[in-house]
Structure 1
């Protein structure tokens, strides 16, 4: 049973992909996130570095992206058409990471349900899952309808669509591009021309070809928009104000688990995941694993058992870049190759491209995963390393927002919250105005420099809370909701 669950009512938009009641993927859209993958900008050329054949493009205030020559599809040197201060339409293909700005392309793409339109690519490509007969059919239908510079990537779902539907989709995507070009003429760089939301838009696009059983929304309006955008999935979309999450856990429990360095499986295997700026190391501990087999067979069996949870954690945490896995030692090369084969098979389900290279001389399995979006650890915490991690003020603010909503429908009528100055500033700017119509209880707050982020001081009936406020007038408690 495969489900997509979208929670978009609150400031932080959350998407979960689950299989057999287990969270496999977590995606977050935050109000402070900039330059998301797929978003299109009218950028301003800051400078051109001919030594590395690249240009640095300002796409937003204090946001400068990197455009390499290979991402410039206009058959000329970067410097021949681009000059400092000139404008260019670019799309984000990789989000900013640490001190590196976002990666950009001038080869814009527009994703449809059964095809991806590339106005400047000049080629026709096909999903690997299409048969040769399907490719020939699609090529004969579409190739002569493209100009020399236009291109398409044909998805697997195209074979289930009528010819007129495919042609209509092509025309619609072409029109989207023309409208964007017209829109950009009246704008001054740097300027955002089109935003692609990760939740739910990109996530639905990413998972639409899988055998989804349910797609659950907590907003009817968003569901209706997605039904129009993804008509093939419309009959699987449901509206539910609340939904039971895997393991009956809350969102905050799921997010907390996704940044913890230790993972304990039901088989007694313990994984330790340490993410640093340069790479991620995953260690396997078998001390709690029970087996009656000999040592060699046991180690090999544990390595096999650990593959699925390793693949799940990589995907769920959105770990990318270089990944080293310290499997239990295997002296037999055939066993190593079988482990690599099983790992590749498990990772094949990941929509993000992965490469498994093999074992190093020190016996570490070496792999990479393409970096597109910011990882869960980097989003939720203020450190790249899991050692001594601390959640950001922004993460606590979204947790606070969910906590306030959870009071709805309870006997609690009012709460008093102590806030640090920084936390107070963030929720005033981003949170409170967004949830004024959602929260049914009265919320009072005061600033306390000794409080770390926030603390619920009192909760209960309106009368009880008001009595407490009258006793603490020196605290300057204000009603905010």
Structure 2
């Protein structure tokens, strides 16, 4: 499989695209005016404790207070972070207390950032957990011999360290196949980083930021680059030099794959990324067979409906449905990554009668989700035949980053018909006729509504004028939406 990373950098925003076999799979966007804060470490101040929710609000210097649950707070006398579900939030924190926290989720919509006191600091191959002594290994490394080799390697390096408090480590997926030199370098880097953070914690007053994660281009090199990546193309000379320096220090094995793209044609246009981003904002996703998906994102959950559309198949209905669902399973997994959809996701595949077809579609969906960097969990098929799953959400979806609710329909996605608005106008005129004395009425409304009042509703307008005994005149207001109108006394 051919994989490339494309970086489009401007002073206003940085965009990173992960492309597999020429098809966009993931897009990351970071704007200079609203950088993501996941991974940042803050010294915050507890401003409110909520015993009923077993949670607290913490001021970390942002517009909205951040939220932390009791399960995310390490007990003061327990450095191993043992389970403290039975400990009340009141016994863990109090108002006015300074608390060192890390952001696990960006502010989403009206919700503040989510926090934890279980700090974790990532490097290229290892993640340091300062308040833990456990050595863990990524579940994506499946070979048992390799897992045991890596665990022994880390434990051996830690034994040679003279530090009393070394902390725990997790080996990342990228650690597969690495040697002692790389492990030792990461451990040394992370220990130095934590020492500087501890010093800042002692010297800084809350609320304040203690540590900020890397900018998007460097973060990409740390987290997304793997042996399958063939090229990393960057269209900014300045960013290319920074990334090149970062790579030589931390990821030297991919140094030769980083290229500067000097072309006049925008890099995202050249590789068709802009078109794919625009398609990802559409509610409808067309499948190659002629079928299609309908994706509806709401605050509570995301629903995905699979339809055969124009695909009529060649053999029988069951085979047509099976092929559509099989193609949809792959397409849905890609759309989840591309749109960065998180939370609860409900998928309505077309009903299949053959159990073997159901199993094949399930396997195809599971296999397609294997490359997803976000944690996913499929709970199975409900009694209604719906596939229920969750996908970890740490940042805003693509739609929320690039779009806002329509000011005309307020995000409903529908408008009242011109006919409905006409009848609302009639009712408003009747209310005004009963409440006020006037010589007549002028209705200000959009062109589509006025046209209907003068055409299809002309008989009803005449009956209304006869009933109230006053004339009614109409005036088009170009700036009014279809639902807006005013009734003016004359």
Distance 2:345 2:309 in 1: 23
State how far apart, in whole Å, the 2-side matches of 1:246 and 1:333 are: 43
Equivalent position SS for 2:53: coil
- Alpha carbons 2:381, 2:388 under 8 Å: kept: yes
Aligned-pair CA distance for 1:115: 0.8
Q: CA deviation at 1:79?
A: 4.5
**Aligned equivalent of 1:366, options 369, 375, 388:** 388
Secondary structure at the counterpart of residue 113 of structure 1 = coil
The alignment status of 1:138 with 2:150, answered yes or no, reads: yes
The CA RMSD measured in Å over matched residues stands at 2.7
TM-score using structure 2 length: 0.73
Verify the 8 A CA contact 2:43 2:60 in the aligned structure 1: yes
Pick from 153, 177, 180: which aligns with 2:170? 153
Residues 98-132 of structure 1: per-residue CA shift (max 9 Å, x gap) = 22211111111111111111111221101231533
Q: CA deviation at 1:249?
A: 6.3
Pick the structure with greater CA Rg: 2
User: What does residue 104 of structure 2 align with?
Assistant: 93
Q: Is the 8 A contact 1:7 1:217 kept in 2?
A: yes
- When the two structures are superposed, what TM-score results if normalisation uses the length of structure 1? 0.74
Q: In the TM superposition, what whole-angstrom CA distance separates every residue of 1:51-106 from its partner, at most 9, and x where no partner exists? A: 43322211123231122222223455654564322222211111222222111111
Which stretch shifts more, 72-81 or 89-98?
Answer: 72-81
Question: Tell me, what secondary structure is at the counterpart of 1:10?
Answer: coil
Alignment-derived partner of residue 119 in structure 1: 130
The answer on whether the counterparts of 2:12 and 2:33 sit within 8 Å (CA) in structure 1 is: no
Deviation at 1:134, TM superposition (A): 3.3
Q: Residue 54 and residue 149 in structure 1: after superposition, are their counterparts in 2 closer, same or farther (change >3 A)? A: farther
Instruction: List per-residue Cα deviations over 1:175-196 (Å, max 9, x = no partner).
Output: 1111122123333322122222
The DSSP-based 3-state class of the residue aligned with 1:13 is strand
Q: Given the superposition, is the C-alpha separation of residues 222 and 99 from structure 1 closer, same or farther in structure 2, using an over 3 Å criterion? A: same
- The answer to whether 1:338 aligns with 2:360 is yes
Query: Which range moves more in the overlay, 217-226 or 85-94?
Result: 217-226
Q: Which moved more, 1:239-248 or 1:191-200?
A: 239-248
Q: Distance in 1 between matches of 2:278 and 2:339?
A: 11
1:298-317 → structure 2 map (5 Å cutoff):
298-317=320-339
Change (3 A) 1:18 1:258: same
Q: CA deviation at 1:5?
A: 0.7
Instruction: Give the drift of 1:387.
Output: 5.9
Distance verdict in 2 for CA 1:288–1:197, change over 3 Å = farther
Q: Distance in 1 between matches of 2:318 and 2:173?
A: 44
**Aligned-partner Cα distance in 2 for 1:305–1:160:** 34
Structure-2 change in CA distance of 1:163 and 1:93 (3 Å): same
Q: Report the 3-state secondary structure (helix = DSSP H, G, I; strand = E; otherwise coil) of the residue aligned with 1:329.
A: coil
Residue 283 in structure 1 maps to residue 305 in structure 2: yes
| Aligned partners of 2:268 and 2:274 also within 8 Å | no
Match of 2:30 in 1: 29
Q: 1:234 aligns with which of 248, 252, 255?
A: 255
Q: Which residue of 2 aligns with 1:421?
A: none
Aligned to 2:373: 351
For residues 147 and 344 of structure 1, the distance between their equivalents in structure 2, rounded to whole angstroms, comes to: 43
Q: Which residue of 1 is the match for residue 65 of structure 2? A: 64
Match 1:186 to one of 167, 178, 203 = 203
Q: Which residue of 2 aligns with 1:218?
A: 235
Asked whether the 8 Å contact 1:206–1:351 carries over to 2, the reply is no
Count of aligned pairs: 391
SS in 1 for 2:209: strand
d(CA) in 2 for partners of 1:29, 1:124: 32
Q: Quickly say closer, same or farther: Cα 1:337–1:148, change in 2 above 3 A.
A: farther
Cα separation, partners in 2 of 1:388 and 1:334, compared to 1, 3 Å: same
Q: CA deviation at 1:265?
A: 2.4
> In the TM superposition, what is the alpha-carbon distance from 1:212 to its structure 2 partner?
0.1
Between the aligned partners of 1:246 and 1:186, the Cα distance in structure 2 is 44
State how far apart, in whole Å, the 2-side matches of 1:54 and 1:98 are.
19
Deviations 1:411-442 (A, max 9, x none): xxxxxxxxxxxxxxxxxxxxxxxxxxxxxxxx
Using the alignment, how far apart are the partners of 2:176 and 2:373 within structure 1? 21
Aligned to 2:459: none
Secondary structure (helix, strand or coil) at the match of 2:65 reads strand
Given that 1:23 and 1:246 are in contact with CA atoms closer than 8 Å, whether structure 2 keeps it comes out as no
Shift in alpha-carbon separation, 1:300–1:31, aligned structure 2, 3 A: same
CA spacing shift, 1:168–1:249, aligned 2, 3 Å: closer
Aligned equivalent of 2:472: none
Q: Does structure 2 conserve the Cα–Cα contact (< 8 Å) formed by 1:218 and 1:241?
A: yes
Separation of aligned partners in 2, 1:322 and 1:81: 30
Q: Any unmatched runs of 5+ in structure 1?
A: 390-449, 452-481
**1:380 matched residue in structure 2:** 402
**Alpha-carbon distance between aligned partners in 2 of 1:299 and 1:293, rounded to the nearest angstrom:** 11
Q: For 1:104, which of 108, 111, 115 is the aligned residue?
A: 115
